[in-house]
Amino acid sequence: MRAVIAEDSVLLSEGLTLLLSRAGFEVAATVADGDKFVEAVTEHRPDITIVDVRMPPTFRDEGIRAAIAARRAVPGLRVLVLSQYVETTYASELLADANGGVGYLLKDRVGQVAEFVDAIKRVAAGGTVMDPEVVAQLLTRRTDDPIDALTPREREVLSLMAQGHGNLAICERLFIAETSVQKHIGSIFTKLDLPASESGHRRVLAVLAYLNSQRGS
């Protein structure tokens, strides 16, 4: 599989290149700004991309905005955001894209190389991977939307869904029966007026799409 890395830190870029190469990926390009990232993915059509949020010239949100632009230029492009920051405004827009294959991890919270490589492969395969802290910030951005109607347990289930976990994994983490998880999920989608889906990452994207739609209301 081919990869493109957008990271302005030379040391981190080189480290990611080495890690991906050892994991069996071919790194087609490494770039240090958003414009070059869009050009690189358009040229190489990679199977996975890893993008930092803050890149030149202003080091604010160029990376994630470039990821959104790249997804528009190359529909279905797999994007894993790897950053020190949670950029909620554009993160919800990126994650709400119904094409799947997206992730958002925080650099300081990546604890094991094997788990990180697994996350890359999950996103490359079309799944969704999110750091719990990213989930928490996205789900608490507003206090005047229907998510307030969720029970504490439903919020726990929703948070795990948003991290990309399937029903069985949620059962194991919350120590409840699968029928209970299914009931909670059904209630969540009813309260948020969203249709339930059989696909784990599509359920996550549906919830995030809803939250994103509420930004300007």
| Per-residue confidence in pLDDT tens, the chain, 217 aa | 999 999 999 999 999 999 999 999 999 999 999 999 999 999 999 999 999 998 988 888 899 999 999 998 998 899 999 998 888 778 877 876 656 789 999 998 888 899 899 999 999 998 888 888 887 777 665 545 667 777 889 888 888 877 778 899 999 999 999 999 989 888 887 777 665 444 455 566 556 655 554 444 4
Could you tell me the two tokens for 27? 């790194």
Residue 208: predicted pLDDT: 65
**Does the pTM exceed 0.95?**
no
The 10 Å Cβ neighbour count of residue 23 is 16
Residue 37: predicted pLDDT: 96
Instruction: List the one residue out of 201, 71, 74 whose CA is nearest residue 125.
Output: 201
**Where are the alpha helices (H) located in the chain, listed in sequence order?**
10-22, 34-44, 62-73, 88-95, 113-124, 132-139, 152-162, 167-174, 178-191, 200-213
What is the fold, at CATH topology level, of the domain defined by 2-131? Rossmann fold (3.40.50)
Whether the bond into 46 is cis, omega within 30 of 0: no
Which contacts of 105-109 are long-range, i.e. CB under 8 A and separated by 24 or more positions? 105/80, 105/81, 105/129, 105/130, 105/131, 105/134, 106/131, 106/133, 106/134, 107/82, 107/83, 108/84, 109/133
Residue 205: predicted pLDDT: 55
Question: Same CATH fold, 142-213 and 2-131?
Answer: no
Write down the domain spans for the chain: 2-131, 142-213
Strands 48-51 and 79-83: parallel
Q: Give the span between the Cα atoms of 39 and 115, in whole angstroms.
A: 29
Q: What's the CATH number for 142-213?
A: 1.10.10.10
Residue 151: predicted pLDDT: 85
Residue 99: predicted pLDDT: 67
